[in-house]
A and B are shown apart, each in its own frame.
Chain A
Amino acid sequence: DAGVIQSPRHEVTEMGQEVTLRCKPISGHDYLFWYRQTMMRGLELLIYFNNNVPIDDSGMPEDRFSAKMPNASFSTLKIQPSEPRDSAVYFCASSLEVRGKQYFGPGTRLTVT
């Protein structure tokens, strides 16, 4: 089975532009997670979904960030407007059960200039 798929792998955009990151979880996994990794803050959970419903978005940094999961096989993380401090690697992960191990996608490296 294919792993977690993320696109794009790299994104370079200008400050103020809208950015959309995409994730396809492993088929059958009911949990989907969005993480952000920076040198300063390490790996942080932004939000997670269970059965397409957002469960905890307390890690979302501010209103410029939003995430959706319209169906079991697709999720987006949107930043509007983007700022240079949003530059990071964004990971999507999925798991089969609430206590299960999380499988990570390859990440999207975002650079905001």
Chain B
Amino acid sequence: AQKITQTQPGMFVQEKEAVTLDCTYDTSDQSYGLFWYKQPSSGEMIFLIYQGSYDEQNATEGRYSLNFQKARKSANLVISASQLGDSAMYFCAMREKNTGTASKLTFGTGTRLQVTL
């Protein structure tokens, strides 16, 4: 089974609108972490936001927020007021505690976001 599922291979959003990128995960651990990374066309991986499984509040970082629904095992990224520079690939990733490699991040397949005028 896929550990991280991103069902949207591509998304379009108009500038200044909000967009939600979906991510669902599969784990039997109680302690885990969820990450979102952005990969622009230049190729680098940029950390955006982190949510711990025990965090009661949804994480926010500027225009990025994480809609964490633990019971549904979803960790959707919400980008508010989209900008042209937000056009990129977005990856959801999970770190599980009870694995042989405590630091291992498992990545989803990514969602390509295109912001239009």
A residues at B contact (CB < 8 Å) = 31, 33, 42-43, 45, 48, 50, 55-56, 58, 89, 91, 93, 95, 98-99, 101-107, 109
Contact = CB atoms under 8 A, between A and B. Distances in A.
Contacts, number: 56
A107 B42 CA distance: 10
A89 B103 contact: no
B102 A98 contact: yes
5 contacts: A42-B109, A55-B101, A55-B103, A56-B101, A89-B43
Q: Is the interface of A mostly helix, strand, loop or mixed?
A: strand
B102 A102 contact: no
A56 B45 contact: no
Given A33-B103, A42-B108, A91-B45, 7 more contacts: A31-B103, A43-B93, A102-B35, A104-B37, A104-B44, A104-B45, A105-B44
Contact of A48 (B45, B91, B104): B104
B54 to A, nearest CB: 12
A91 B46 CA distance: 12
B101 A99 contact: no
B40 to A, nearest CB: 11
